[in-house]
Amino acid sequence: MAELVTGISELTTCDPDLGVVPDAAVVVDAGRIAWVGPAARAPEADTATDLGGRAVLPGWVDSHTHLVFDGDRSAEFRARMAGEEYAAGGIQVTTDATRSADDDRLRALVTARVAEAAAGGTTTIETKTGYGLTVEDEARSARIAAELVDEVTFLGAHLVPAGWDAEEYVDLVVGDMLDAVAPHVRWADVFCERGAFDEDQSRRVLEACRDRGIGLRVHGNQLGEGPGVQLAVELGAASVDHVAFLSDSDVEALAGSDTVATVLPGADLSTRMPLAPARRLLDAGATLAIASNCNPGTSYTSSMAFCVTTAVLQMGLSIEEAVRAATWGGARALRRETGDGPDGLGAVGSIAVGHRADLHALTHPAAIHLAYRPGMPATHAVWRAGRRVA
């Protein structure tokens, strides 16, 4: 049954041919966009929804989250706000709690977090394993995530667990653990950073996963300059995420590659690190994505609107650049900006005929209000694959 969505004051399509359409309308049919254009030329449909002069964007595409966890790290956050330096070791606290949770509890926690994200306009979401760090717990995390989110990433190489030799743990990651998670994941990631995995260890993990036909992602250059960006580009990773500390050669490599630079402003703020150089990356010609990095230690938010607002107010992006990075850019980081995607319902991250009908209607008349009125309620309604979900 076709639905006509009208009363759109400003339609930001993130499609290069359509751009921003004022006084627009959209027709949704069978989970896809069937028509886009000026409201005055809109065709008839079976049902109609009038948004009363509100702006519409593509649904947010959050290409970097860590939703499969139990436990609380607010004490660590309090200490960091009091001046303690962030280090990767806090992950072990979450790992202990996650291992102790049963399947039903983990499933309920992930379901609630996905619902929170959807309520804020997120319609496509990636999440990672990485809080199990045993063969059984990583496989369990991957299986539960595959039931509940769009894209699942294997992050067994998140941290070397207490009591393990790093090289022996990498042997486990690229062996039995990879075998156990492979049926449930499309991506693999590694935390290539001081306190986690060095370049050689990261390369072993990524090459083993690539050899299994799994796509690559990298956590890199979060705590300082390091090998993460160059390794991601060399191995053809779809994205390298964090990228807060970049050399000129890192920026040049990203600008000359298909690897998306994904910035995570929530994590930068929470760890009191410098904000990633999003403006510098765009000006150099790199492809940029913005993601929430929702996790219990360094960015416990799934609000993509907050991340977009931060990108505009503090990272030097225009509202158009920030919205595109949080929609089309995230889709590109997941290689879902074209084609039908795993669900067979069309591309995500932009509003165009044939794409999955993911719409985010704001409470505001224009997208700029996300930054103009920071922190104010922003989401009026959300459609995912043509179905109203929030």
CA dihedral angle for residue 275, residue 278, residue 279, residue 282, rounded to 10 degrees:
170
- Average per-residue pLDDT for the chain: 96
Higher pLDDT, 90 or 189: 189
How sure is the predictor about 342, in pLDDT bands with cuts at 50, 70 and 90? confident
How sure is the predictor about 170, in pLDDT bands with cuts at 50, 70 and 90? very high
Q: What is the pLDDT of residues 191-205, one digit of tens each?
A: 999 889 999 999 999
Task: Write out the DSSP string of 280-329.
Answer: HHHHHT--EEE----BTTTB----HHHHHHHHHHHS---HHHHHHHHTHH
How much is the average pLDDT of 267-289? Answer: 97
Give the contacts of 313 (CB within 8 A, at least 6 positions apart): 371, 374
Task: Write down the pLDDT at residue 358.
Answer: 98
Answer for the pair 182, 215: CB distance below 8 angstroms, yes or no.
no
Residue 58, strand partner residues: 359
Task: Write down the pLDDT at residue 80.
Answer: 84
Residue 143, pLDDT above cutoff 60: yes
CATH 3.90.550.10 fits 60-317, yes or no: no
Assigned CATH topology for domain 3-58+346-388: Urease, subunit C; domain 1 (2.30.40)
How much is the average pLDDT of 150-176? Answer: 96
Q: What is the pLDDT of residues 296-330, one digit of tens each?
A: 999 999 999 999 999 999 999 999 999 999 999 99
Question: Counting Cβ atoms within 10 Å, is residue 356 exposed (0-12), middle (13-18) or buried (19+)?
Answer: buried
**Helical H segments across 221-296, by residue range:** 228-234, 248-255, 265-270, 278-284
Task: Write down the pLDDT at residue 74.
Answer: 86
Taking CA atoms, 387 is separated from 32, 110, 147, 152, 256, in Å, by 10, 21, 19, 23, 39
For the chain, give the percent of residues with pLDDT over 70. 99
Between CA 2 and CA 313 the distance in angstroms is: 39
* Closest of 247, 232, 241 to residue 280, by C-alpha: 247
Between CA 20 and CA 13 the distance in angstroms is: 6
Q: What is the pLDDT of residues 71-116, one digit of tens each?
A: 988 888 888 888 877 665 577 788 989 999 999 999 999 999 999 9
Beta-carbon neighbour count of residue 16 at 10 Å?
10
* Closest of 155, 347, 101 to residue 110, by C-alpha: 101
Between CA 48 and CA 45 the distance in angstroms is: 7
Q: Rounded to 5, what percent of the chain is helix, strand, coil?
A: 35, 25, 40
Task: Write down the pLDDT at residue 86.
Answer: 67
Q: What is the pLDDT of residues 17-40, one digit of tens each?
A: 999 999 999 999 999 999 999 999
Answer for the pair 321, 382: CB distance below 8 angstroms, yes or no.
no
Read off the pTM: 0.97
Q: What ranges do the domains of the chain cover?
A: 3-58+346-388, 60-317
How much is the average pLDDT of 328-338? Answer: 98
DSSP 271: T
CA dihedral angle for residue 44, residue 46, residue 50, residue 51, rounded to 10 degrees:
-110
Beta-carbon neighbour count of residue 43 at 10 Å?
11
Q: What is the pLDDT of residues 224-248, one digit of tens each?
A: 999 999 999 999 999 999 999 999 9
Task: Write out the DSSP string of 108-176.
Answer: HHHHHHHHHHHHTTEEEEEEE--S--SHHHHHHHHHHHHHHSSEEEEEEET---TT--HHHHHHHIIII
DSSP 177: I
* Closest of 13, 9, 42 to residue 27, by C-alpha: 42
For the chain, give the percent of residues with pLDDT over 90. 91
Between CA 254 and CA 119 the distance in angstroms is: 33
